[in-house]
Amino acid sequence: MTNELEERRKKATIKAIPRKHAGKVVEPYKILDRLIKEVSDFAPLKKAAFCIAWKSGWRCDKDGILKRAQIRKASEVEREVYGEFDFVLLLHKELWQSSSFKGEAREMDVFHELCHAAPDIDDATGEQRVDERDRLCWRLRKHPIQEFPAVIDRYGLEASIGVNEEAVAAVDDEASQAAAQAAENDLDRPIIQTGGESQGGPQGRLAGREGRTARTSQNAHQETH
């Protein structure tokens, strides 16, 4: 084939990494296995099936950010049609080929991606959810820390890291105070209402429903990096 024709062919950028080469487990899987075994937070992942693949062609974006790795949760279709993997871990092929990216740098990227992988826990039972066919359910966690260097420079690392937790606590506090106030107001209401629903009723319920929808759609993300 001529060079020109070859250039016109669409690039294949993802290549699954076989777990073993010449009878030995290859490095990416070795790192993954070791971290899941060693790190207690990763213990639930012992029951998850991972596929690791090379991804080539990731370049630095306008903001100077280079995606070095990415984890995807297998969708229901992928699970059914292509195999029984729960997660697919993509690693930056060119980066792993470079001589400056070795040892702990490699481990750190795998560690980071494993932090995204988590069991999907049922709040009511505290147990990991299973689907109708008894397969364990998984989810992807988001970064709790994401900040601009300028914010850290100005306000310090500790303040930048703590700000989300403080905000969550403040909002929870506000919400619980509002709920307590609403419950108190309810006690003052007559039990039998005449006519249709009170003005606040349907609107209140709609707001609740929208709130839940927003949360569900956030959880629906299938990949993260």
- Residue 79 or 225 having the CB closest to Zn ion: 225
Q: Which of 142, 114, 90 is nearest to 33 (CA)?
A: 114
- Residue 36 or 116 having the CB closest to Zn ion: 116
- Residue 33 or 223 having the CB closest to Zn ion: 223
Assigned token pair, 10: 């669409």
CB of 87 to Zn ion, least distance (A): 13
Contact indicator for 136, 121 with CB cutoff of 8 Å: no
CB of 172 to Zn ion, least distance (A): 25
**166-205 mask for Zn ion (x: CB under 5 A)?**
----------------------------------------
CB of 20 to Zn ion, least distance (A): 28
Distance between first and last Cα of the chain: 37
Window 206 to 225, contacts with Zn ion (CB under 5 A): 225
Element (H, E) at 211: helix 200-219
CB of 104 to Zn ion, least distance (A): 17
CB of 111 to Zn ion, least distance (A): 11
> Taking CB positions, which residue lies at the least distance from Zn ion?
225
- Residue 3 or 146 having the CB closest to Zn ion: 146
Helices 103-116 and 27-38, packing angle to 10 deg = 60
Q: Which of 42, 113, 107, 106 is nearest to 73 (CA)?
A: 113
- Residue 19 or 225 having the CB closest to Zn ion: 225
- Number of residues in contact with Zn ion, rule: CB under 5 A? 1
Phi, psi at 106, each rounded to 5°? -65, -45
Q: Which residues contact 74 (CB under 8 A, 6 or more apart)?
A: 82, 85, 86, 87, 88
Window 83 to 102, contacts with Zn ion (CB under 5 A): none
> Which residues form the interface with Zn ion (CB under 5 A)?
225
